């Protein structure tokens, strides 16, 4: 298994990650740039379809307009394993931002992971999900709209997930000392240099946080990871719930947010300067390796 994982990691392509970011980057706010967002959705669907993955468009309506989560499935070979693995990222962007880090970076890692995993044999089914309307919309105080719809429907259908990984802004680093900030009420020591991947869990997802962190240390030693379990599912640290993993926490699913910590490191967060040229693609490649290693490990566990 170890040799197989290392061989698979060799297939991860930094230039392809750049190309994915370039294709997703651009104004694509769900309400302000409706047609542009639809074009990005089309690109994501076509890319996943080209990998011979089965595709489902989960459509829903928000204030009279149709939106969709894009779901691609790589079916596991052991049909007795009912608990799937989900890898997700949101493809919309904040109002007025081209959203390279937030969150073309997450979508790029999702697509690259799908690219190197589609021809691997896995016992568990893996679902690659691109969520829409993660960002705030002008008609409501709520956000995470697409993932909330997905998690709610999954709960109604009693769908089970062994692990949910949400990629949220995974492309920005800063090696300067003092470049990393932390939310109020975070008690665990966090590095002051912004060059690590945060692995954010709640109580229910603590075990998969520890597993992911261990796998990353084993297979991607160049990637610095900082696992952190938030108390009370993040309700006393609101910023820890600012991505789609929180929708899954709400329905009792074990979910992690994988993040460069966004606004606590990246000065371009939610601005017009969040562009491809600010990203660290070596870091993104290592994040992809960690994700792929984890899926290969968990996907074949008995």
Concatenating the DSSP letter of every residue in 122-137 gives -SS-EEEEEE---S--
Angle at 121 between CA 119 and CA 123, to 5 degrees: 140
The domain limits of the chain are 2-173+237-254+269-299
Summary count for the chain: helices (H), strands (E): 8, 10
Place of tokens 């595709």: 55
Cα–Cα distances (Å) from 36 to 40, 41, 137, 251, in that order, read 6, 9, 16, 31
CB atoms within 10 A of CB 223: 19
> Can you give the pTM of this predicted structure?
0.97
> What pLDDT score was predicted for residue 187?
80
Give the integer Cα–Cα distance in Å for 271 and 102. Answer: 10
Residue 58 corresponds to which tokens in the numbers above? Answer: 């989960």
Lowest mean pLDDT among 79-83, 208-212, 268-272: 79-83
Integer Cα distance of 151 and 58 in angstroms: 12
The contacts of residue 289 (CB under 8 Å, 6+ apart) are 9, 12, 219, 220, 223
CATH no., domain 2-173+237-254+269-299 = 3.40.630.10
- The mean pLDDT value of the chain amounts to 96
Q: Which two tokens stand for residue 292?
A: 């792929």
For residues 102 and 93, is the Cβ–Cβ distance under 8 A? yes
- Expressed in angstroms, the distance from the first to the final Cα of the chain is 13
The Cα–Cα gap between 99 and 280 comes to 14
Q: 3-state SS of 223-256? A: CCEEEEECHHHHCCCHHHHCCCHHHHHHCCCCEE
Torsion of CA 107, 112, 116, 117, to 10 degrees: 0
pLDDT value of position 302: 67
* Residue 224: pLDDT over 90: yes
pLDDT tens across 37-76, in order? 999 999 999 999 999 999 999 999 999 999 999 999 999 9
The tokens describing 82, both together, are 């009912």
Residues 98-142: pLDDT tens digits?
999 999 999 999 999 999 999 999 999 999 999 999 999 999 999
H or E stretch covering 258: strand 255-259
Q: What CA–CA distance (Å, rounded) separates 64 from 41?
A: 18
Mean pLDDT for the stretch of residues 236-246: 95
For the residues of 110-123, what is the DSSP string, one character each?
HHHHHHHHTTS--S
Across residues 203-210, what is the average pLDDT? Answer: 98
């Amino acid at each position: 298994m170890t040799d197989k994982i290392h061989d698979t990691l060799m297939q991860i392509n930094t230039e392809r990650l750049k190309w994915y970011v370039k294709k997703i980057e651009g104004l694509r706010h769900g309400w302000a740039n409706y047609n542009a967002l639809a074009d990005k959705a089309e690109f994501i669907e076509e890319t996943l379809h080209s990998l011979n993955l089965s595709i489902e468009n989960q459509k829903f309506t928000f204030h009279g307009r149709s939106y969709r989560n894009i779901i691609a499935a790589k079916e596991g070979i052991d049909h007795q394993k009912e608990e799937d693995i989900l890898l997700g990222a949101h493809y919309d962007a904040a109002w007025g931002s081209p959203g390279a880090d937030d969150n073309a970076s997450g979508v790029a890692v999702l697509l690259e992971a799908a690219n190197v995993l589609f021809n691997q044999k896995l016992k568990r089914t893996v679902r690659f999900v691109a969520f829409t309307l993660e960002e705030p919309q002008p008609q409501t105080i709520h956000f995470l709209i697409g993932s909330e719809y997905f998690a709610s429907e999954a709960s109604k259908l009693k769908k089970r997930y062994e692990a949910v990984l949400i990629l949220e802004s995974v492309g920005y680093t800063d090696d300067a000392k003092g470049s990393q900030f932390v939310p109020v009420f975070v008690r665990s020591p966090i590095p002051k240099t912004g060059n690590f991947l945060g692995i954010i869990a709640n109580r229910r997802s603590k075990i998969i946080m520890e597993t992911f962190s261990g796998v990353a240390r084993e297979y991607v030693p160049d990637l610095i990871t900082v696992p952190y379990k938030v108390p009370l599912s993040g309700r006393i640290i609101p910023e820890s719930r600012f991505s789609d993993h929180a929708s899954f926490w709400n329905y009792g699913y074990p979910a992690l947010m994988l993040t460069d910590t966004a606004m606590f490191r990246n000065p371009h967060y939610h601005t017009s300067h969040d562009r491809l040229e600010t990203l660290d693609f070596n870091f993104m490649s290592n994040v992809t390796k960690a994700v792929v290693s984890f899926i290969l490990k968990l996907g074949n566990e008995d």
